Each structure stands twice: as C-alpha cells, then as structure tokens.
C-alpha cells in the first residue's frame, strides 16, 4: 500500500500542538463526535470500502474544529460481538500510527488532530485515513475478513446517530456493573498507552474499569482472546492483600514488571499511598480538595475551572505521564457507578464538587448514597471559600463527620 505519509508505531508518541494542526476533529470544542466498531454479517460489509458523509479535509477551513463520527464495520467468522469494543479501541492505536495524525480519548469523547506537515505531504482526504485503517486492521487482526470505514463530518447526521452509539456504550457498561472483583480469579492489564506514558499500566478488574473508559473487564477478556500477543493480557489476581484498598499480589507483580520497577504496589480502590497510575487519556480526574478534606471530579469536556481555579488541561498535566499521584487520579466516568469507587477513602459519600453535567448524569447513584443534593457544582460555588460555606449550609454528611471510613 502506498500512502502520502509514513506509518508505524514510532509515531504513537508524537503530539500535535495548537499552532501545528491543520484541522482538528472532536475535542471539547465540538459537541457531536464518536467512534464505533460494529460486527456485521459478511453481506453487510463491502470489503475495503471508504465512505465520507459530509465535507472532506480538503474542503475544510484551516485551523477549524469539526464534528466527526468514525464507523468501522467488520465481518469475520471468528469475530464475536464482545470484540467490538476491542476493535473500536484500536482506532486510537492505528490513528496514532499515522505520521501527523493524533488521536485522543474514545467513544463519544474523541479528539483528533492532523498536522500541517502531513497535510502538505498530501494527506488531505479522510479517504486515505480510511484506507490506512482498512489496511492496518486487516493486517494486524487476521480474524477481520471484511472491513469498511465510514467518516461522517455532517453534524446533523452525527447528531442523529449519536444516541444509538450511547446506548451501545451503556449496554456494555451495564453488563460489566454486575460483576465484582471477588467473582473472578483473573484480572487484565493494558499497556496500550505506554507509548505516551512509559510507566503506565492499567489494571482492569470487574470493579475497576480502565482510565480511558473504553475497556472494562469483559472487553479485556475479549481483547486477550483476539490478540494474545497484544497490549492487553490476563493475569492471576493472586492473594487479596487488602480488600478495601483493593490491593492484590498479582496486580502488584504486574505493575512492578510493566512500570519497569518504578512502582511495586497499587491500590485499585484508593487515591492515597499507592494510587493507580494515569496515562493521558483518562475521561476524568478525581482530585483531593485539602480545604475540605474531600474529593471533586472534573471531566475532559468540562470547559470551566474547579473551585481551586484549575482547568482540566492544567490538572491533566500534573496527573498524567504514568505516575502514581496521590490525591489526583485519572479515571473513567463509569467508575462513578462502581460499588468500589474509591471505597477505602469514603467513595461517593466523600464527593463534594462535580460539574453540573456529571452530577446529573450520575444522579441515581449519588442519590442512593444520600449525597446528590449535598454536592456543589459550578453553579453553586466558584472558589474554595464558597465551597466550605456551601457544604456547611447544606450539611454534607462528610463535613458533618457522619461518613465512617470502612475498615
Ligand atoms: Fe489501555 Fe489504559 Fe490506555 Fe485504556 S487508558 S488504552 S486501558 S492503557
Ligand atoms: Zn492512555
């Protein structure tokens, strides 16, 4: 295959700065965006077809941010529906193989940038990106017998299709919520993001999905089956050393090995002492607020600041890079629904600040813990002094000392 630009894992670590992109797709400035892989029957897939619905790169104005949906349809006798999320996550990996193309996040959070350099070299059409996907997917995953790629840049069309994609994501997450760490003997790890964060290793258990939100325990199981030599693999969870903090001998061993000795312990359910590392594509950050000795969460798409006056991008800089950062943990938003959500630290009952959108999205779970109407949002407070005041006024159970830490 001949392309205008070079391809390979060596491009995975490259980032594209604001001044250097020709166009970008998705990101927080764009409302409608998602990516999705779908398993179809062979008759439904026209092999190696690339379709573009809406404007192509060359028709777009330089420097702009545009909506985008990426649809990858695959067929193959050995493929299983469980493998859809795995194939979908590979969009991230293969996009980053492309010289001058950068891909971040997943599902309905995607963010892509094309560099001016690669545009100049001739990568001026999504058709070529689709041909690259078709080529990489079939050469790297032999179980894919047929593939077709569709790009949609037409905002209305993406808006129409987004709800069905959200339903699919939700169905995947709902199934995963049923299972707990105690129910299985095998956990999984993923080192797909080591190209950006060399000491980062996601530990995925039934009660803790991966930071990117794109991989739960079932997805990892399917990924391992699809590609036993790939970045995701299973390991025996070993002895449970601390059920509350979520410390397991098997996970410690893997973290020591995959972080090249940088870390030798990991707590899956605590933000203190040995918290999980964060790469760069977490959906949200759970952060400690010293003034109230409690936690807040900020997510990637939230454009405002925390009560401490910090933006997501600033906080992400301090959280990412594959470090264990006490009191600042990258996380999947879906983790908010886990029964073990930072359970050693007080869990959802110790949350005191959330962006309004997140508070509403997880209302049911926050209500069940009796904190929904006690949590401040950007509409209630704009600095930590006001936060302290707010929490006292509403009588947040954590502030009143009514939440007992387990153990
Ligand atoms: Fe894998 Fe974790 Fe990166 Fe997701 S965030 S792709 S699970 S390493
Ligand atoms: Zn990552």
CA-213 nearest atom, ligand 1: 4
Assess if residue 398 is contained within a domain. Answer: yes
Tell whether 210 and 125 lie within a shared domain.
no
Tell whether 290 and 276 lie within a shared domain.
no
Tell whether 13 and 80 lie within a shared domain.
yes
Report the relative pairing of strands 232-236 and 186-190 from DSSP bridges.
Answer: antiparallel
Distance 191 CA to ligand 1 centre (A): 6
Distance 283 CA to ligand 2 centre (A): 10
pLDDT digits (tens, 9 = 90+) for 180-232: 999 999 999 999 999 889 999 999 999 999 999 888 999 999 999 999 999 99
Distance 274 CA to ligand 2 centre (A): 19
pLDDT at 395 exceeding the cut of 80: yes
CA-89 nearest atom, ligand 1: 6
pLDDT at 214: 83
pLDDT band at 326 (very low <50, low <70, confident <90, very high): very high
Distance 106 CA to ligand 2 centre (A): 10
Question: b/e map of 301-311 (b: 16 or more CB within 10 Å)?
Answer: bbeebbbbebe
Distance 349 CA to ligand 1 centre (A): 27
From 147, 175, 203, the end of a domain falls on: 175
Going by CA atoms, what residue is nearest to atom 3 of ligand 1?
Answer: 193
Tokens of 142: 């032999």
Q: To test the ligand 1 pocket, which listed residue (87, 95, 281, 320) has its Cβ within 8 A of the most ligand atoms?
A: 281
Note the ligand closest to the C-alpha atom of 93. 1
pLDDT digits (tens, 9 = 90+) for 364-375: 999 999 999 999
CA-194 nearest atom, ligand 1: 8
Assess if residue 124 is contained within a domain. Answer: yes
Tell whether 43 and 151 lie within a shared domain.
yes
Q: To test the ligand 1 pocket, which listed residue (202, 232, 277) has its Cβ within 8 A of the most ligand atoms?
A: 202
From 175, 201, 220, the end of a domain falls on: 175
Average model confidence (pLDDT) for the chain?
Answer: 96
Tokens of 312: 């997501």
Query: What span, in angstroms and rounded, lies between the C-alpha atoms of 290 and 6?
Result: 48
Going by CA atoms, what residue is nearest to atom 2 of ligand 1?
Answer: 202
Range of the domain at 51: 9-175
pLDDT band at 158 (very low <50, low <70, confident <90, very high): very high
What average pLDDT score do residues 24-39 get? 97
pLDDT at 112: 98
Note the ligand closest to the C-alpha atom of 91. 1
Distance 313 CA to ligand 2 centre (A): 15
What average pLDDT score do residues 105-126 get? 97
Query: What span, in angstroms and rounded, lies between the C-alpha atoms of 266 and 270?
Result: 9
Tell whether 83 and 131 lie within a shared domain.
yes
pLDDT at 296 exceeding the cut of 90: yes
Ligand 1 interacting residues, C-beta cut-off 6 A? 89, 190-193, 202, 210-212, 214-215, 279, 281
pLDDT at 1 exceeding the cut of 80: no
pLDDT at 173: 87
Tell whether 247 and 358 lie within a shared domain.
no
Going by CA atoms, what residue is nearest to atom 5 of ligand 1?
Answer: 212
How large is the C-alpha radius of gyration of the chain?
Answer: 21
Tokens of 243: 């059920």
272-273-277 Cα angle (round to 5): 80
pLDDT at 215: 86
Tell whether 19 and 156 lie within a shared domain.
yes
What is the tally of structural domains in the chain?
3
CATH of the domain at 262: 3.40.970.20
Assess if residue 330 is contained within a domain. Answer: no
From 118, 141, 175, the end of a domain falls on: 175
Note the ligand closest to the C-alpha atom of 199. 1
pLDDT digits (tens, 9 = 90+) for 225-280: 999 999 999 999 999 999 999 999 999 999 999 999 999 999 999 999 999 999 99
Tell the residue number behind the tokens 């927080």, with chain if given: 28
Three-state DSSP string of the chain = CCCCCCECHHHCCCCCCHHHEEEEEECCCCCCEEEEEEECCHHHCCCCEEEEECCCHHHCCCCCEECEEEEEEEECCCCCHHHHHHHHHHHHHHHHHECCEEEECCHHHCEEEEEHHHHHHCCCCHHHHHHHHHHHHHHHCCCCCEEEEEEECCHHHHHHHHHHHHHHHHHHHHHHHCCCHHHCCEEEEECHHHHCCCCCCEEEECCECCCCCCCCHHHHHHHHHHCCCCCEEEEECCCEEECCCCEEHHHHHHHHHHCCCCCCCCECCCCCCCECCECCCCCEEEEEEHHHCEEEEEECCCCCECCCCCEHHHHHHHHCCCECCCCEEEECHHHHHCCCCCHHHCHHHHEEECCHHHHHHCHHHHHHCCCHHHCECCCCCCCHHHHHHHHHHHCCCCCCCCCCCCC
């Amino acid at each position: 295959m001949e392309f205008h630009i070079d391809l390979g894992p060596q491009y995975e670590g490259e980032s594209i700065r604001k001044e250097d992109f020709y166009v970008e797709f998705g990101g927080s400035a764009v409302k409608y965006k998602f990516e999705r892989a779908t398993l179809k029957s062979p008759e439904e897939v026209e092999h190696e077809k690339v379709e573009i619905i809406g404007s192509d790169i060359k028709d777009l104005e330089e420097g702009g941010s545009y909506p985008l949906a990426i649809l990858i349809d695959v067929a193959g006798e050995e493929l299983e529906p469980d493998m859809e999320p795995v194939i979908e996550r590979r969009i991230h990996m293969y996009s980053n193989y492309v010289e001058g193309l950068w891909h971040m996040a997943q599902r309905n959070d995607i963010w892509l940038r094309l560099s001016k350099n690669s545009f100049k070299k001739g990568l001026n059409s999504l058709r070529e990106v689709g041909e690259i996907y078709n080529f990489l997917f079939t050469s790297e995953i032999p179980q894919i017998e047929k593939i077709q790629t569709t790009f949609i840049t037409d905002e209305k069309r993406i808006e129409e299709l987004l709800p069905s994609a959200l339903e699919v994501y939700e169905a995947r997450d709902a199934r995963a919520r049923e299972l707990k760490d105690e129910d299985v003997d095998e956990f999984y790890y993923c080192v797909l993001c080591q190209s950006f964060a060399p000491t980062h290793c996601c530990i995925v258990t039934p009660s803790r999905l991966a930071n990117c939100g794109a991989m739960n325990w079932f997805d990892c199981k399917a990924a391992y089956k699809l590609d036993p030599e790939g970045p995701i693999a299973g390991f025996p969870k070993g002895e449970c050393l601390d059920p509350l903090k979520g410390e397991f001998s098997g996970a410690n061993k893997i973290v020591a090995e995959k972080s090249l000795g940088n870390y030798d312990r990991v707590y899956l359910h605590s933000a203190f002492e040995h918290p999980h590392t964060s790469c760069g594509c977490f959906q949200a950050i759970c952060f400690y607020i010293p003034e109230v000795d409690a936690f807040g969460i900020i997510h990637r798409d939230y454009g405002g600041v925390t009560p401490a006056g910090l933006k997501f991008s600033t906080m992400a800089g301090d959280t990412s890079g594959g470090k264990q950062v006490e009191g600042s943990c990258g996380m999947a938003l879906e983790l908010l629904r886990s029964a073990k959500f930072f359970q050693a630290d007080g869990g959802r009952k110790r949350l005191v600040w959330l962006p309004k959108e997140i508070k509403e999205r997880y209302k049911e779970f926050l209500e069940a813990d009796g904190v929904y109407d006690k949590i401040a949002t950007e509409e209630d407070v704009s600095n930590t002094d006001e936060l302290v005041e707010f929490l006292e006024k509403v009588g947040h159970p954590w502030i009143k000392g009514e939440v007992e830490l387990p153990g």
